[in-house]
Structure 1
Amino acid sequence: MAGNRGVVYEGPGKVSVKDIDFPDLVLKDGPGVPASNVGRKCEHGVILKVITTNICGSDQHMVRGRTTAPEGLVLGHEITGEVIEVGRDVEFIKKGDIVSVPFNIACGRCDMCRQQKTHICTNVNPERPGAAYGYVDMGGWVGGQSEYVMVPYADFQLLVFPDKEKAMEKILDLTMLSDIFPTGFHGAYSAGVKVGSTVYVAGAGPVGLAAAHSAQLLGASTVIVGDLKEERLEQARSFGCETVNLSKHDRLGEQIEQILGVPEVDCAVDAVGFEASGHGANAGEQPATVLNAIMDITQAGGQLGIPGLYVTEDPGAADTDAQTGSLKIRLGLGWAKAHTFVTGQTPVMQYNRHLMKSIFSGKAQIAKAVNATVINLDEAPQGYSQFDSGVARKFVIDPHGSIR
C-alpha cells in the first residue's frame, strides 16, 4: 500500500507535515470525528491523488488557536485531484478523472441538498448542518492537504474537468474552484452586484480579492477594496480595483466619497470575518468592525454578502461575549436601512461549473487576481507562517510535483 503524508494541526501556531493513514472508503476514528460518524461506510466515495490543495484563511483561524480545533487534525478543504480508486457504488466517476472537490461535503439526498443548499447538508455531520474536510466541528472528515484523500458521495459532488490536458494548463485557476472562487463569487452575487454596481469589499485577502474579481465579472462599474496591508491593496489595484488603506483612515465613508463622489456604495461584501481589526492606526482587534462599517456605507435597501467566517466559539477573543460569537453589531442600523444580509458557508455547487467555464474561456483570471503561489508539501508550514504575516499570496500546495 502507498504511503501518505499530510499537514497536521499540532496546537496554536504550529503545523507540521507528518505520515498519516492512507485513505480508505470508511471514516475511521480520529481527531474531531464524532462518535456517531466513526465507521461510516463510503462505498459511494473515491480516493484521490491530490494534484493541488490550497491554504485557506479559514485554516489560518484554526492554526492561530482561534477555534476549538483538536490537535492532530489533518487540515485542508480546498482539493483538486486525480481519481485513483472508486467505491462499489460509484457509477459516473472513473479512474483517471481530474476533479474539483467542493469544500462542502454533501450527500445529495437530504432536503437541503435537493434545494441546492449543499452547505447545510443534514446527513454528513451529526453535530450540526454542514460539513467540510479537515475543519473544526465539521464532521471529522479528513483534510486534503495531503498526498491522498478520500471523498464521499462522489457521483453527486465531484466536478469533472472535461479535458485533462487543458485542465492541467489551467490548473492554477481551476484549483480555486473548490472554495475561494465560488466563495468570493457568492459574496458578490449575494450582495446583489450587477451591471453598473458600485461595490465595497472589506478585506484584500484571497477571498476578498476573489470577491472583487467576481464583482468585475458580474459587471460592477467600480470595486473598492479596503484592507490594513498595503501589499494586499497593491494586489487589488493590479486588476483594476480602487483601494482604501484602513490603517491610515478610520472614516471609510469619507474615503468612498473621494472615489465615487458620494459616501455610499450600492452593495458590500465582508470577506474578513470574526478576526476583524478596527480602522485607523493601532486600533486593535474589534470583531464587529466590518459588519458595522458595511452597514454604514451601503445605501438603504442594499445587500450585504458575508462570506467572511464567524464562529460560535472563539477561545482567543478579547472579551467573553466574542468568545461565544456574540458581537456588538448595530443591527438597528441595518434594520433602519432595510439591508439584506446573506451569511453562512458558500454552496459551492451552485457556482463551480459556471465558473469553470469562465476559466476555460479565459474570462476569469482568478489565479492572477489572488497571486497564486505554488509550494511543495514540505513547505506548507512556512506557507502558513507567511500567510499569517499578511502576504498578498494564495498558497497552492503541489504534493506530488504535478505542476512545478
Structure 2
Amino acid sequence: MKALTWQGNQNVEVTDVPDPTIEQPTDAVIKVTSTAICGSDLHLYGVLGPYLKPGDVLGHEAMGVVEEVGSEVTHIKPGDRVVVPFNIACGHCWMCERKLFAQCETTQVVSEGKGASLFGYTALYGSVPGGQSEYLRVPQGQFGPIKVPDGTPDEQFLFLSDVLPTAWQAVAYADPPPGGTVAVFGLGPIGQMCVRIAKYLGAGRVIGIDSVPERLALADRYGAEPLDLSKVDDISEALIAITDGRGADATIDAVGMEAHGGAPGGKLASIAQKATGLLPDPVAQKVTDKMAVDRIDALLGAIKGVRRGGTVSISGVYGGEVDPLPMMEMFDRGIQLRMGQAHVRRWTDDILPLVLDPADPLGTLDLTTHQLPLADAPGAYEMFRDKNDGCIKVVLKP
C-alpha cells in the first residue's frame, strides 16, 4: 500500500509499505478514506526526528471503512464506517476505568516512561504505524473505533479522532465560569475549535490570539474577538488591558512547543531545537527528552494573561523538562494549571450528538481549507508548516 513515511528531518515521502494484517484478536484493519495533518505532525517533521527511523508511517487522525476484525472485536464489523481515536486505549484497565484513556496501562510505553501508545508518533509512543496511508491496523479495536453513519462527508466526523476531543478537553479543563472570559492562544485547528466549543458551552467572551490574518478572520466568524499578536508589544499586558485590568478568567494554550514568538527566549529555543536535530540519535533523544528547551512564548502569555485565581489549560504539546516558568508569580496569583493528551473516548459521547446535528453547531464542515490526494502530502506538510495559501487544516484522501 501507499503511505506517507518519514525519511529525515523535514523530509517525508509517499512510499510503498507492507499492507497491515490482523496480528491480535483485538485488532481491526480499516481502509482509510480520510486522514488529516495535525500540528503535532509538524513536531515530527522538524523536532522529534531522533525518535523516528526512515520508513516510519506518520499520521494519527484517520477514519475509514472496516476491512477485517479480530475475533474479540464485536462492536464493529467489515463494511462499517469508523473514526479512529489518536490514542490507543483498551477501555478496561485501571486508568481506562477512570476515563484516563491517554494513560491506558495496557498500551503505555513503559520503556520510555510515556503514556498510552499513539498512532504514527515515534518510538516514544510505541512506533505504531500511522493513518496517513491507504490502510491502517487498529490495535485495541474492541474499544477504540467510533462507528458513524454513512451518507455524510468524512469531514463531519473525521475530527472526532483528535481535534474535537482535544479542544473539548481544553475548554473543560479551563472551566471558565458561566458568562466568563476565555482567551485562546493559537488559532490553528485546535484553537479554532476551542473558540467554538467555549462559546457553545457558555463562555460570555472568547478572545482569539494569533498573527495569521486568515486564522483571526475565521475565529472572528465564530464569535471570537481577534487579538493580533503582530500589533501588540506584550500580549499578556494587552490581554489584561482589555479585561478590566484583571486578565481572562481562563486561558488556553493551543500552541505548544512550535510557538513562533518573537521573544529572545523563543528565538534561542528555536535554534536549540534545530541544533538538537543535528546530534546523533541516541544523544539527541536524551537531550530532547530531558534537557530540551521549548519555545514557550504562548505558554508564558497564557500564564501572565490569566487573572488571579484563574486557570491555564494546556493542550499544546511540549517536549522538554527544563522549560523555565515564573513559579513565584504563579504561586502568588493562585493560578491553576491543567494539561495533557486528550482522553478521546471520554468526550466523544458528548460531542457526537453535535456532530450528528444537521445544523453543525461546531462548524466541523468549515474547518478544512485544503483537501488533497495522499500523493500530495509532502507539499501539504510544507504548506501547513509555513501557513501558506490560507492553510488552516489539510485533509488527505488516500
TM-score, normalised to structure 2, is: 0.86
1:241 equivalent in alignment to 2:224: yes
RMSD between aligned alpha carbons? 2.0
Name the residue aligned to 2:276.
none
Q: Tell me the number of residue pairs that the alignment of Structure 1 and Structure 2 aligns.
A: 365
The DSSP-based 3-state class of the residue aligned with 2:88 is coil
Task: Name the counterpart of 1:102.
Answer: 85
8 Å CA contact 1:227–1:244 kept in 2: the answer is yes
- Identity, in percent, stands at 31
CA contact (8 A) 1:79 1:101 kept: yes
CA distance in 2, matches of 1:232, 1:8: 29
Are the aligned partners of 1:126 and 1:139 in contact in 2 as well (CA < 8 Å)? no
Correspondence for 2:3: 6
Shift in Å, 1:282: 12
Deviation at 1:220, TM superposition (A): 1.1
Kept in 2, the 8 Å contact 1:246–1:279? The answer is no
> Which residue does the alignment assign to 1:187?
170
1:303 corresponds to 2:285? no
- Residue 216 of structure 1 aligns to a residue whose secondary structure is helix
Stretches of structure 2 lacking an aligned partner (at least 5 in a row): 270-294
Q: TM-score, normalised by structure 1?
A: 0.85
* Alignment partner, residue 395 of structure 2: 396
Query: For 1:7 and 1:283, how far apart are their aligned partners in 2?
Result: 30
1:357 and 2:357 correspond: no
Q: Which residue of 1 aligns with 2:18?
A: 21
**Secondary structure in 1 matching 2:355:** helix
Secondary structure of the residue that 1:266 maps to in structure 2?
strand
Task: Report the equivalent of 2:35.
Answer: 53
- Residues in 1 aligned to 2:69 and 2:86: alpha-carbon distance in whole angstroms: 19
CA distance in 2, matches of 1:88, 1:142: 22
Structure (1/2) with the larger helix percentage: 2
Please say if residues 368 and 395 of structure 2, whose CA atoms lie closer than 8 Å, have aligned partners that are also in contact.
Answer: no
Q: Which residue is 1:144 aligned to?
A: 131
1:2-401 equivalences under 5 Å are 4-26=1-23, 42-70=24-52, 71-124=54-107, 125-127=109-111, 128-136=114-122, 137-161=124-148, 163-165=149-151, 168-169=152-153, 171-257=154-240, 259-279=242-262, 284=267, 287-312=295-320, 325-361=321-357, 362-391=359-388, 392-399=391-398
Given that residues 166 and 190 in structure 2 are in contact (C-alpha distance below 8 angstroms), is that contact kept between their aligned partners in structure 1?
Answer: yes
CA deviations on 1:292-326 (whole Å, 9 max, x unpaired) are 221211112211110100114xxxxxxxxxxxx31
Query: Matches of 1:175 and 1:15 in 2, distance apart?
Result: 23
Return the alpha-carbon distance in structure 1 between the equivalents of residues 35 and 177 of structure 2.
31
Distance 2:48 2:137 in 1: 27
Instruction: Extract unaligned runs of 5+ from structure 1.
Output: 27-41, 313-324, 400-404
How far did residue 280 of structure 1 move?
7.0
**Worse-superposed segment, 280-289 or 340-349:** 280-289
CA contact (8 A) 1:276 1:285 kept: no
The one-letter code matched in structure 2 to 1:146 is S
Give, in angstroms, the shift of residue 66 of structure 1: 4.0
Contact 1:257 1:263 survives alignment (8 Å):
yes
